[in-house]
Amino acid sequence: MIFRINLFAKSVQTIALYLTLSACQAQSGNSFELWPDGAPGALGSKETDRPTLTPYVVDRPSSKTAAIVICPGGGYGGLARHEGHDYAKWLNDAGISAFVLKYRLGSKGYRHPAMLQDAARALRTVRARAGEWNVDANRIGIMGSSAGGHLASTLLTHHDPGDKNTSDPIDRVSSRPTLGILCYPVISMGPITHQGSKRNLLGKNPDPKLAWNLSNELQVTPETPPCFIWHTYEDKAVIVENSLEFAKSLRRAGVPFDLHIYQNGRHGIGLANGHAWTKDCLFWLKEQQFTE
């Protein structure tokens, strides 16, 4: 009897270990380079010069899933894991495939348009390879937090239909997201901006015309996709006016949006143990037919 109990215990331990390893493998994803032969304007060939995409794909053979490209925040100087990997797992739990973008950074010598090139390429890649991941090419959004929110809002307002004459099948498809999710985003490069993000993106003394072009509250058109936007009143790093001004512009352009301003919460809170924004966002995503 003791022998059998020990065998059973060892079997349980083995199964538990297998399940743990399987879960880790499912969470890790397999990163790949957006440009295997080198990104446009690359300053070298180091890891920081090679933008990548990490898929977190929902395995649902019965039907195609929606997908969201995630741009982590970090002031264009770093990339916050909890605004990338953690968001991807949260979206997976809702039945949405996710793709975390590692884009080039100002802290590594890059300036605009490198970051926008990376975001556009990421969106195009998911759309061009949608069949490979069982993704609906007409339901691909973009999500970003803080400076990642600026990058997401830049693609939302600076997308293009693709180049039909190129031999690259990825560059032939549109970079327009189906929708956007902006979490305490940097939006403006004007007086209400986050100065560190602006400096990393544009340099110390940017051309005023360039700063205007990347003040995304000024670039909204009726072609801007619908957005879910949330911020906190208490945010001292990126002030709430960034979200308010973007929402005002969406309203003027007739673009649907959900805007949520929560009283409490510091900057960079992410998922924050089930903060109310997650429930509100999932409700909105269901209305957009991104979830069942």
Q: What is the pLDDT of residues 88-115, one digit of tens each?
A: 999 999 999 999 999 999 999 999 999 9
- Residue 7 and residue 93 share a domain: no
Q: Residue 237 in 3-state DSSP?
A: coil
- Residue 94 and residue 129 share a domain: yes
Per-residue tokens: 177: 């997201």
Q: State pLDDT tens for residues 227-242.
A: 999 999 999 999 999 9
State the average pLDDT over residues 249-258: 98
- Residue 127 and residue 207 share a domain: yes
Is residue 292, in this structure, part of any structural domain at all? no
Q: Which residues in 96-134 are b (16+ Cβ under 10 Å) and which e? A: bbbbbbbbbbbebebbbbbbbbbbbbbbbbbbbbbeebb
Q: Which residues in 68-91 are b (16+ Cβ under 10 Å) and which e? A: bbbbbbbbbeebbeebbbbbbebb
pLDDT at 29: 59
Domain that residue 5 falls in? 1-30
Domain count, the chain: 2
Is residue 91, in this structure, part of any structural domain at all? yes
Spatial contact of 225 and 176, defined as CB atoms under 8 Å apart? yes
- Residue 280 and residue 235 share a domain: yes
Spatial contact of 225 and 68, defined as CB atoms under 8 Å apart? no
Mean pLDDT for the chain? 91
> Do the strands 180-183 and 97-102 form a parallel or antiparallel pair, or are they unpaired?
unpaired
- Residue 191 and residue 63 share a domain: yes
Per-residue tokens: 56: 């977190």
At residue 24, does pLDDT exceed 80?
no
At residue 16, does pLDDT exceed 80?
no
pLDDT at 77: 98
Q: Residue 178's domain is classified under what CATH number?
A: 3.40.50.1820
Q: Residue 113 in 3-state DSSP?
A: coil
